[in-house]
């Protein structure tokens, strides 16, 4: 696999060069299980380092505030057209710098201060930007938070009851740690009954939706936001899709309402990523992500782990590790020592704190990009169990780290030699 040249950085700035080399080694020798991370193609890395980074282009294709926009217009229009085709969207804005800005710009497009929004509680799989009290938007809007049922599924009846009681202006679905399918038709019906708009944040599962592996809210919902760097396997960035009637409001909200000049190098990379998403290879990749997650579900359950939401329909698993005698923080640390990167995560109604919760979240997108399949998932599940049980035994953690490194050598990371 071709690597992306760093010759200029090496010649000019050794401190930065060493940091990049260190990160390449970490990515190459370790197993990446953070559900929101992935590896982009060498073409996407090149686009990120292209001369588009030099250009200011406030506005939109054909309607910019500065001159010199022939090629920024070309590349942005291409990204928009590809995204519209992939998701069946009426309108797409590819300028949001990431997922949180995309969500805030979507709120600004349709809400007035004080408006009520119904969104999922963070510990049940929601996201900070879905109204967690630590965020500024929670001071601006009246967020009411719903939860999953005791069985760990989205509680549609409760959402219906809360929607009737609170009459929200917006009902929000789409999650960061929830592992099950979402019934968008049912949410739309509830929203229509109470006169609410609908918004889905598909940041985690956009790639699975694009490949037809999960339900697509875009033809049904008013607003759909996503990042482009998770299962979509594009550059770090965001995107808003919406119905035609909200197109102007969304564009005005992103610029000039919220952001300044878009990052056209990033938008060029998004266009390349969308081109990749349209291929048969990508469809196979998305299918394998889910197969791999299912194998890990089965293995980890057999190893005695308690899986939140009863398992997975997508790319991730939220796991309670306390039954293995560890906290989420301890498990994250032990796995790090063993060359396996995960993130500690709250579980529904977690009695512990966000910095030392009861769970970890794992995902298969990055491992699947390296070409790992069912056999490797079985092995990784065993290592997870051994590392957590052996958290106080440096010899066990070192042994797993060496085994992880050995396996990783057989599965190259795109863009790294
Ligand atoms: N930080 C992302 C994640 O890991 O899910 C969401 O913002």
Question: What's the CATH number where 346 sits?
Answer: 3.90.1150.10
Structural domain includes residue 141: yes
Q: How confident is the model at residue 199 (pLDDT cuts 50, 70, 90)?
A: very high
| Residue 4 confidence (pLDDT) | 79
Residue 35 located in a structural domain: no
Based on the fold, state whether residues 269 and 306 are members of the same structural domain: no
C-beta of residue 234 within 8 angstroms of C-beta of residue 274? yes
Residue with tokens 């250009």: 55
Q: Is the CB of 101 under 6 A from ligand 1?
A: no
Domain of 162, CATH number, reads 3.40.640.10
User: Same structural domain for residues 228 and 307?
Assistant: no
* Domain-located, residue 370: yes
DSSP E strands: which ranges in 284-413? 306-307, 316-320, 340-341, 343-345, 359-363
DSSP 8-class letter at 413: P
Which of 255, 277, 299 is the endpoint of a domain? Answer: 277
Tally of domains within the chain: 2
Ligand 1 pocket, residue 341 CB under 6 Å: no
Radius of gyration (C-alpha) of the chain in whole angstroms: 21
Give the predicted TM-score (pTM) of the model: 0.97
**H/E element holding 163?**
helix 156-166
207 CB within 6 A, ligand 1? no
For residues 268 and 305, state if they share a domain: no
> Residue 201 catalytic?
yes
Q: How far is C-alpha 93 from the geometric centre of its chain's CA atoms?
A: 18
* Cα(238) to centroid(ligand 1), Å: 12
For 42-65, the pLDDT digits (tens) are 999 999 999 999 999 999 999 999
What pLDDT, on the 0 to 100 scale, is given for residue 317? Answer: 97
C-alpha of residue 343 to centroid of ligand 1, in Å: 10
Note whether 265 and 325 are same-domain residues: no
Cβ(93) – ligand 1 distance below 6 Å: no
Tens-digit pLDDT profile for residues 241-261: 999 999 999 999 999 999 999
**Whose CA is closest to atom 6 on ligand 1?**
176
Which pLDDT does position 323 carry in this prediction? 94
pLDDT computed for residue 55 by the predictor: 98
Task: Name the domain boundary from 248, 277, 306.
Answer: 277
Answer yes or no: is the C-beta of 348 below 6 A from any ligand 1 atom: no
Contact of 205 with 181, CB cutoff 8 Å: no
Task: Indicate if ligand 1 lies below 6 Å from the C-beta of 36.
Answer: yes
Q: Give the confidence band of 194 by pLDDT, cuts at 50, 70, 90.
A: very high
Which residue out of 99, 174, 176 has the highest number of ligand 1 atoms within 8 Å of its CB and is therefore the one to mutate?
176
Same domain, 259 and 349: no
Assess whether 257 and 304 both reside in one domain: no
In percent, the amount of the chain with pLDDT more than 70 equals 100
The pLDDT mean for the chain works out to 96
Q: Considering only CA atoms, which of 378, 343, 292, 329 is closest in space to residue 386?
A: 378
pLDDT in tens, 127-175: 999 999 999 999 999 999 999 887 888 999 999 999 999 999 999 999 9
With beta carbons less than 8 A apart as the criterion, state whether 314 and 292 touch.
no
pLDDT at residue 2 above 70?
no
Q: Closest ligand 1 atom to the C-alpha of 177?
A: 5
Per-residue pLDDT band for 84 (boundaries 50, 70, 90) equals: very high
Catalytic residue among 236, 294, 352, 373: 236
Nearest CA to ligand 1 atom 1: 36
Q: Which residues of 1-20 are buried (b: 16+ CB within 10 A; e: fewer)?
A: eeebeeeebeeeeeeebeee
Catalytic residue among 46, 76, 121, 201: 201
Q: Is it the case that residue 1 has pLDDT exceeding 70?
A: no
> What is the 68 CA–ligand 1 centroid distance (Å)?
36
Q: Do 75 and 147 share a structural domain?
A: yes
Interval 29-43: pLDDT, tens: 999 999 999 999 999
Q: 214 lies in which domain range?
A: 46-277
Q: Is 236 part of the annotated catalytic residue set? A: yes
pLDDT of residue 417: 85
Rounded Cα distance, 121 and 115, in Å: 18
Q: Is 227 a catalytic site residue?
A: yes
Helix (H) or strand (E) holding 287: helix 280-302
Picking from 243, 277, 311, the residue at the C-terminal end of a domain is 277
pLDDT of residue 87: 98
Mean pLDDT of 322-349: 97
* Measured distance CA(139)–CA(307) in Å, rounded: 34
């Amino acid at each position: 696999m071709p690597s992306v040249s760093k010759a200029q950085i090496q010649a000019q700035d050794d401190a930065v060069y060493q940091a990049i080399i260190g990160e390449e080694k970490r990515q190459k020798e370790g197993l990446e299980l953070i559900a929101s991370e992935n590896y982009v193609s060498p073409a996407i890395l090149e686009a990120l380092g292209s001369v588009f980074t030099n250009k200011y282009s406030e506005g939109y294709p054909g309607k910019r505030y500065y001159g010199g926009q022939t090629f920024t217009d070309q590349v942005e229009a291409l990204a928009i057209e590809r995204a519209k085709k992939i998701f069946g969207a009426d309108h797409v804005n590819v300028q949001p710098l990431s997922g949180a800005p995309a969500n805030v710009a979507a709120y600004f497009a349709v809400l007035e201060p004080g408006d009520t929004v119904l969104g999922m509680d963070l510990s049940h799989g929601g996201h900070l930007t879905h109204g967690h009290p630590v965020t500024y938007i929670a001071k601006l809007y009246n967020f009411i938070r719903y939860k999953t049922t005791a069985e760990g599924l989205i509680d549609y009846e409760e959402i219906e009851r809360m929607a009737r009681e609170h009459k929200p202006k917006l009902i929000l679905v789409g999650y960061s740690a929830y592992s099950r399918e979402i019934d968008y038709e049912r949410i739309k019906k509830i929203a229509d009954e109470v006169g609410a708009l609908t918004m889905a944040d598909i940041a985690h599962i956009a790639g699975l939706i694009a490949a037809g592996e999960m339900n697509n809210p875009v033809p049904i919902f008013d607003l759909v936001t996503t990042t482009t760097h998770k299962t979509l396997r594009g550059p770090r960035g965001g995107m808003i899709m919406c119905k035609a009637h909200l197109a102007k409001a969304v564009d005005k909200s992103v610029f000039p309402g919220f952001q300044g000049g878009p990052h056209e190098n990033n938008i060029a990379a998004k266009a390349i990523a969308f081109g990749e998403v349209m291929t048969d290879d990508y469809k196979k990749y998305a299918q394998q992500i889910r197969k791999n997650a299912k194998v890990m579900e089965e293995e980890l359950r057999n190893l005695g782990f308690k899986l939140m939401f009863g398992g997975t329909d997508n790319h991730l698993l939220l796991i309670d590790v306390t039954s293995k005698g560890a906290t989420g923080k301890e498990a994250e640390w032990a796995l790090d020592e063993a060359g396996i990167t995960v993130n500690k995560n709250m579980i529904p109604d977690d009695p512990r704190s966000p910095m030392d919760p009861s769970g970890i979240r794992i995902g298969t997108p990055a491992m699947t990009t390296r070409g790992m399949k069912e056999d490797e998932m079985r092995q990784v599940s065993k290592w997870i169990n051994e590392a957590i049980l052996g958290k106080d035994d440096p010899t066990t953690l070192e042994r797993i780290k060496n085994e992880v490194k050995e396996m990783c050598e057989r599965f190259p990371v795109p863009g790294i030699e």
